[in-house]
Chains A and B, each alone.
Chain A
């Protein structure tokens, strides 16, 4: 029985669930991590999860469109990374901290 499981084709849903799990982990990282950079990385994780979904669906439809979308997402992620890290740098320069909870001068 385990053998059969291992050799048979993998249901598409599994990929999607993996994608959902990774997305969820990204969310978890965002809301539980305190270092801004880690938080940012969590977003990257979420984007990766989305990419997995795209590619999976692409397989389902046997189209390359999904791949192209992932490609665009990567570009966007890269651009975001550049800007995001620049923002983080300025924050650090001004506050000398990377703790996200410290960045809360404006509230209510």
Chain B
């Protein structure tokens, strides 16, 4: 079926745009960039149609990548239903965002560069999804991280952007540290990295009640996933990553890349289910992330930051989902999240575009009048994320929460609370931006069709995506479908609606209430507003000690001081010895003679003793 065409097309787009982009007209760039992704999408569709139901995994072998001793790692692509979903989401949403970006990036410098990177990202993301072994998955994994770095730091002249890019890459590397360790252990344990072989072998292993090899492997994989999917404690890069152009935030930091962690856990479900300790950890981390990110989201004033924390929070949901064993629900949420969160970001981008870069929601207001399409599509997305019944978010989120309830009720309640908070802050942002009077000083205007088109398509998907695509059902063959619980689902939906209502009260009905409420919370508000000072804590606890320690202790102290000091000291000491030895050479003949006598006495003594003279 030539699966390789799927990722290769964007790669070719990347090469074409990257190498020629500076010399060709924009039309060429657009054609290549969008065309390659679109072709890729079409090829995905064609392939999936060709494969039909994909009851068993379809694998294509290309070549041996690494062959060392018994270790054999090949470049294999495979498609199963999980992959199919991911492929469609990635290429589909990807295509939309590419189109959107044409409008959004119109006046930016480095236009070709942007699309080249975007195509490169598509390539790596597709490799990640298609990979049939962990190392190839890791290729995609690292590759998307790279593209994230490149695109977050797209505005290369801006310090904040490039710093955010570095942060994204480095924090991801910390996660990859865990992932790579997991890979080593997998090879050590199973002798292979091939998914089929590893999972086949793992199936025969017992469920680990205490910490065993599988638990360690999965925990390490989890470390990787927390990095990529911005979970506690490695979520810190994602809010900063909003420094990149908005389509990037939409594509990479909302729809696709950040969900790779969830995908990877779902992919490794066979091992994860053998390690309940890890599963609990995943769930707890997901829940905690969801909750804390939501609290932060409630206080942010930057539109994209709000959505960013919301992304972190939603990713926490997905983790919760896979953590409680509802893998298909997690993946479902991945998909719906791609729709509505992609939409949210694209909408934010449109707002930003219309306001010439303004993102502070306090400087907006009443935008509904100026950019109606953006406003209403965003409204749809907000509904979806709030889990209003019928929207896509309702289906996937509730599938997760219901599964959580079955696993441990307290998780459910925390999740529901978070859902309420989510609805609150999303609508808080919406109300502040689109209702009331315009507070800013720009000249708001609606975007062109290139941008609004994708918004509309995504809005439709956000509304009907959950209903139309019953992912758990599709994935039944791979994962057991979660339990159903109508009551609990409705409870959570109700809490969502409550959140929306509160937002309305605070920001539309009685503006000013929010400020006084925030004041009454005092220190707590400051704490949350400043994101719990996590960045600062990391900086003080890790970054600065590392830098200062390296500088003063290792470099100046150890290297220049101790080791080089010893080396140079040896040099000086040699010279010192030399200085002493040359004192013998006093220039005085009598002293020289005395040395000769000394020598002869010593030699005679030696001979005397050696000769046995007593």
Contact = CB atoms under 8 A, between A and B. Distances in A.
Interface of A: 27, 30-32, 34, 39, 100-101, 103-108
A22 B593 CA distance: 17
B123 to A, nearest CB: 73
A106 B590 contact: no
B585 A100 contact: no
A100 B583 contact: no
B582 interface: yes
A53 to B, nearest CB: 15
B589 A103 contact: yes
A105 B587 contact: yes
B210 interface: no
B587 A107 contact: yes
B112 to A, nearest CB: 72
B594 A104 contact: no
Nearest to B589: A100
B595 to A, nearest CB: 10
A32 B590 CA distance: 7
Given A107-B587, A107-B588, 14 more contacts: A30-B593, A32-B590, A39-B589, A100-B588, A100-B589, A100-B590, A103-B589, A104-B588, A104-B589, A106-B587, A107-B586, A108-B582, A108-B585, A108-B586
Given A30-B593, A31-B597, A101 B588 contact: yes
B590 A108 contact: no
Contacts of A32: 590
Given A27-B597, A31-B597, A107 B590 contact: no
A107 B583 CA distance: 8
Nearest to B588: A104
Contacts of B586: 104, 107-108
- Chain B's interface size range is 10 to 19
B587 A108 contact: yes
B180 to A, nearest CB: 61
Contact of B587 (A27, A30, A104): A104
Nearest to A104: B587
Interface of B: 582-583, 585-590, 593-594, 597
Q: Which 8 A-B pairs have the closest CB atoms?
A: A107-B587, A104-B587, A108-B582, A31-B593, A30-B593, A31-B590, A31-B594, A104-B588
Contacts of B597: 27, 31
Contact of A30 (B582, B583, B588, B590): B590
A32 B593 CA distance: 10
A20 to B, nearest CB: 11
A108 B583 contact: yes
17 contacts: A27-B597, A31-B590, A31-B593, A32-B590, A34-B590, A39-B589, A39-B590, A100-B588, A100-B589, A100-B590, A101-B588, A104-B587, A104-B588, A105-B587, A106-B587, A107-B585, A108-B583
Contacts of A108: 582-583, 585-587
Nearest to B600: A27
A31 B600 CA distance: 14
Nearest to A101: B588
Contacts of B594: 31
A99 B589 CA distance: 11
Contacts of B589: 39, 100, 103-104
A26 to B, nearest CB: 11
Contacts of A27: 593, 597
A8 B7 CA distance: 120
B554 to A, nearest CB: 41
A39 to B, nearest CB: 8
A53 B583 CA distance: 37
A31 B595 CA distance: 10
Contacts of A107: 585-588
A15 to B, nearest CB: 20
Contacts of B593: 27, 30-31
B208 to A, nearest CB: 77
A30 B585 CA distance: 18
A107 B591 CA distance: 12
Nearest to A105: B587
A103 B588 CA distance: 7
A13 to B, nearest CB: 15
A32 B121 CA distance: 92
B468 to A, nearest CB: 97
Contacts of A101: 588, 590
A98 B582 CA distance: 26
A106 B589 CA distance: 11
Contacts of A104: 586-589
A41 B60 CA distance: 104
Contacts of A100: 588-590
B102 to A, nearest CB: 82
Nearest to A34: B590
Residue among A31, A39, A100 facing the most chain B CB atoms (10 A cut-off): A31
Contacts of B587: 104-108
B586 to A, nearest CB: 6
A31 B590 CA distance: 5
A107 B586 CA distance: 5
Nearest to A107: B587
Contacts of B588: 100-101, 104, 107
A30 to B, nearest CB: 5
A101 B587 CA distance: 9
A25 B75 CA distance: 94
B572 to A, nearest CB: 18
Nearest to A103: B589
Contacts of B583: 108
Contacts of B585: 107-108
A101 B594 CA distance: 14
A39 B591 CA distance: 13
Contacts of A30: 590, 593
Contacts of A105: 587
Contacts of A31: 590, 593-594, 597
Contacts of B582: 108
